Structure 1
Amino acid sequence: MATSHRRAVAGMLLVTLMWSIAGVVTRQLDSARSFEVTFWRSLFTALSLGAYYAFVHGRSTLKLLADGGRPLWISGLMWSVMFTCFMVALTLTTVANVLITMSLAPLLTAVLARFTLGHPVARRTWFAIVIAGAGIVWMYGYSVSADPKHLLGSMVALGVPVASAINWNTLQRSGRSVDLVPALLIGALISSAVTLPLSLPLQASPHDIGLLAVLGVFQLAIPCMLAVRVARALHAPEISLLALLEIVFGIAWAWLGASEQPAPQVLAGGALVLATLAFNEAWGMRRLA
């Protein structure tokens, strides 16, 4: 059991490392912008997941999608919102702003579960919400004074934790487990279909398409499938805590690989958010121990 747990932790570390490359890779694009960036990444994600399912399940793939029912399709829709908002936000503001805004997902999920599922919210979580909210407001205040475009990007990025919270609560209300992988496939298909008309005329160079293919396969499809497996051996607070490393890795990659140095206000606000979330999740792990 201990060995299995250590492997799961190592696997989750690998997942966060793969997730974190989105920002620095996006900064290397030549001509692809906004919705076109989302379209190509979602398309390659859908193609890779579709190929995986066709190889593993063959003709039964369509039956698996049909048998998932309403929760599976709602989950797929929420994934499409997350895919789209994330990549569009990266084209509008800094990697740090996007990743730190996304880190609010566990807190928003807890609040939504309080009103939709009747789950009590611990005092430490309410405290974390207030402190993390102050850090986000600090960052947003800086964005307004620095460049309104950064504020718009942060607001678009807010769609990711909101959709994530709705996704989780929808699956919990269904009363049964919904496989993440077909939901991801549905989300990628919806995202690519919706953003294609908004991307025309397509301007991505072969260099851009290659980079976005890397993101679709190695930054999204593979790590998400790996996360499904390792999550079985980890508690929810552990997963949330380890997932925070994506923010640290992502900001570091953008800093080192794209010379995107976060402003002091962003670092201070982000540090406040991360420290608060880490404390909240670590305390949750302690209670489960």
Structure 2
Amino acid sequence: MTHRRAVLTMVAATLMWSIAGVVSRHFEAARGFEVTFWRSLFNGVALVVLLSWLRGPKPLAHAIRTGGRTLWLSGLCWAVMYTAFMMALTLTTVANVLVTMALGPLFTALMARFALGHRLAARTWAAIVVAGAGIAWMYAREVGGSDARHLVGMLVALCVPIAAAVNWTLIQHNRSAAQQDMLPAVLIGALLSALVTLLPSFPFEATLRDLALLALLGTVQLAIPCLLAVNVARSLSAPEISLLGLLEVVFGVLWAWLGANEAPAATVLSGGLLVLGALAGNELLALRERRN
């Protein structure tokens, strides 16, 4: 996969990830842990179908049984990301969660630097800072943390960028070392997340409409883009993947505007432009470097 195609594929993945907010606005009864359970369960079902189609059922089962520590650690990271995001939303505001998650590119860059010895170009460090500032500016007026519940929610949300940083670094290390198939890790994460949230989800209250929407999230918002992201990790660096992942926030705002009539404030629009400018500038400078 060329660098340009990898970037476009990652953008498509973030576009699919970003529909979670607007779709969740249309739930009738499903809330909290139940949303996480059904989303993860449908994600797991979709991944079994997709991976069996890509790899075959026997090779998939064999890959999971013999995957080793790296595959299962990556699966655990996916499970933490799936679960902590929804748990954090039940404890604090969406703004607090998104601003906390914006730390992802910085954590990933630092982990790749110290764990793998990767040196980042100055343009990428600058893009991380500018994009992070853009996310903070988007939600500066809405961030609240004086309540102990908000603090707990932000600590839970912090698990998402930490797990993501570990995950992308593991996948990057695997790319340069064993070349192991890491796609089954996404399935392991989905199954672990569903298992952990099963009991707290009782009693189930989701309607048929809710289940249809959760199936959409499990398939289109999680299964397909997560597989794409793992595949892209063979061509892009871990910090670049994490940086492009911030587009999820920008796209999420647009979806809420178009699909739920939630018009963004001026600060959200200007912050979004900062994020887009940082990402576009980083990619344009990278393209110039490759041509030279």
Same fold (TM over 0.5): yes
CA distance in 2, matches of 1:8, 1:131: 22
**Which deviates more from structure 2 when the two are superposed, residues 165-174 or residues 270-279?**
270-279
SS of match in other structure, 2:142: helix
Structure 1 contact 144–150 (Cα < 8 Å) conserved: no
Which amino acid counterpart does residue 162 of structure 2 have in structure 1? V
SS of residue in 1 equivalent to 2:56: helix
Paired residue type of 1:117: L
Query: CA 1:29–1:230 in structure 2 vs 1: closer, same or farther (change >3 Å)?
Result: same
What secondary structure sits across from 2:210 in the alignment?
helix
Contact kept? 1:100, 1:270, Cα under 8 Å: no
2:37 maps to a residue whose letter is F
**Counterpart residue number, 1:38:** 36
Residue type matched to 1:191 in 2? S
Give the CA deviation at 1:257.
1.2
Contact 2:139 2:267 (8 Å CA) reproduced: no
Give the counterpart of 2:46 among 45, 48, 53.
48
Amino acid at match of 2:20: A
Q: Distance in 2 between matches of 1:90 and 1:52?
A: 29
For 2:190 and 2:73, how far apart are their aligned partners in 1?
13
Q: Which residue of 2 aligns with 1:25?
A: 23
Residues 1-289 of structure 1 mapped to structure 2, 5 A cutoff: 11-54=9-52, 56-90=55-89, 92-94=92-94, 98=97, 101-138=100-137, 141-145=140-144, 156-174=156-174, 175-228=177-230, 235-236=236-237, 243-289=245-291
State the Cα distance separating 1:65 from its structure 2 match.
0.8
- Normalising by structure 1, we get a TM-score of 0.80
- Aligned residues of 1:238 and 1:285 also touching (Cα < 8 A): no
TM-score, normalised to structure 2, is 0.79
> How many residue pairs were aligned?
285
Measure the CA separation in 2 of the matches of 1:12 and 1:127. 20
- Once the two structures are superposed, residues 168-200 of structure 1 have per-residue CA deviations (whole angstroms, 9 ceiling, x without a partner) of 222334522343320000000111111112222
Task: From the superposition, tell whether residues 63 and 19 of structure 1 become closer, same or farther in structure 2 (CA, over 3 Å).
Answer: same
Unaligned 5+ residue runs, structure 2? none
What CA distance in whole angstroms lies between the structure 2 residues aligned with 1:79 and 1:177? 19
Q: Which runs of 5+ in 1 are unaligned?
A: none
Query: Aligned to 2:183, what secondary structure does the other structure show?
Result: helix
User: Aligned partners of 1:69 and 1:43: how far apart in 2?
Assistant: 23
Change in Cα spacing, 1:231 to 1:116, as seen in structure 2 (3 Å) is: closer
- Residues 41 and 212 in structure 1, CA contact (< 8 A), matched pair in contact too: yes
Residue range with higher mean Cα deviation, 25-34 or 266-275: 266-275
Aligned-pair identity in percent equals 56
Query: Once structures 1 and 2 are overlaid, which stretch shifts more, 31-40 or 246-255?
Result: 246-255
CA distance in 1: counterparts of 2:161 and 2:188, whole angstroms? 19
Shift of 1:207: 1.6
Change (3 A) 1:197 1:259: same
Contact 1:102 1:161 in 2 (8 A): yes
